[in-house]
């Protein structure tokens, strides 16, 4: 009798701890994948080979955007709950970027652009990802053209994607480009 009560109590406690988390994710409208990462229906599943992901992006006329996240990342959650709820932001990203998400601490094997196979955790180290969220933007030659380290509120968040989509990185550093495009004469003192 005592054992069955303990089993019941453990099961009940487990349900109490998991149901609120599921309700919270559901009520916020944010999906969580099997690895515990927040995700969007319009994210593309990685092929497990970044060169193939890059070719898929090129095939669609888009820039590859690698989103690095990790389970329990509060700013990753905020990005999904705030930034990705803005229709203009999502439209800009979907129209111009082929998005794949990787787990900074993951153990799934992934091939890097040079064909080296390693876990996502090792790949994040190789790509100098030390926190999350991080977005790497890669051109058609797999060169990193820009990196957004950390969380940014809109309008800076959308500004970064606009900067990469319009190839602003070929014209000026982000701050200078952003001031000229979004702040106009106010930024130049005129």
Claim to verify: residue 179 and residue 108 sit in the same structural domain: yes
Claim to verify: residue 92 and residue 67 sit in the same structural domain: yes
CA distances from 85 to 126, 135, 136 (A): 31, 18, 21
Strand duo 97-103 + 63-69: pairing: parallel
Claim to verify: residue 67 and residue 152 sit in the same structural domain: yes
The pLDDT tens digits for 126-160 are 999 999 999 999 999 999 999 999 999 999 999 99
Q: Give me the percent of the chain exceeding a pLDDT of 70.
A: 82
Claim to verify: residue 80 and residue 171 sit in the same structural domain: yes
* Domain of 179, in residue numbers: 33-188
Number of domains in the chain: 2
This prediction has a pTM of: 0.81
CA distances from 59 to 52, 55, 93 (A): 10, 6, 16
Claim to verify: residue 20 and residue 67 sit in the same structural domain: no
- State the CB neighbour count (10 A cutoff) for residue 21: 11
Claim to verify: residue 48 and residue 8 sit in the same structural domain: no
Residue 61: CATH number of its domain: 3.40.30.10
The pLDDT tens digits for 157-183 are 999 999 999 999 999 999 999 999 988
Which residue, 139, 175, 152, 167, is CA-closest to 84? Answer: 152
């Amino acid at each position: 009798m005592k054992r069955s009560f303990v089993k019941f109590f453990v099961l009940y406690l487990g349900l109490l701890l998991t149901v609120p988390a599921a309700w919270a994710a559901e009520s916020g409208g944010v999906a969580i994948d099997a690895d515990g990462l927040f995700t969007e229906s319009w994210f593309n599943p990685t092929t497990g080979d970044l060169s193939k992901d890059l070719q898929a992006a090129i095939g669609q006329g888009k820039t590859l955007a690698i989103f690095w996240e990790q389970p329990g990342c509060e700013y990753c959650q905020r990005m999904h709950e705030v930034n990705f709820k803005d229709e203009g932001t999502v439209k800009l990203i979907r129209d111009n970027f082929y998005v794949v998400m990787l787990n900074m601490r993951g153990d799934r094997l992934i091939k890097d652009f040079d064909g080296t196979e390693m876990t996502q955790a090792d790949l994040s180290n190789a790509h100098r990802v030390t926190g999350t969220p991080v977005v790497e933007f890669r051109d058609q030659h797999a060169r990193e053209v820009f990196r957004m380290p950390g969380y940014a509120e809109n309008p800076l968040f959308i500004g970064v994607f606009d900067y990469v989509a319009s190839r602003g990185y070929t014209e000026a550093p982000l701050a200078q480009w952003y001031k000229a495009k979004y702040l106009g004469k106010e930024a130049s003192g005129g």
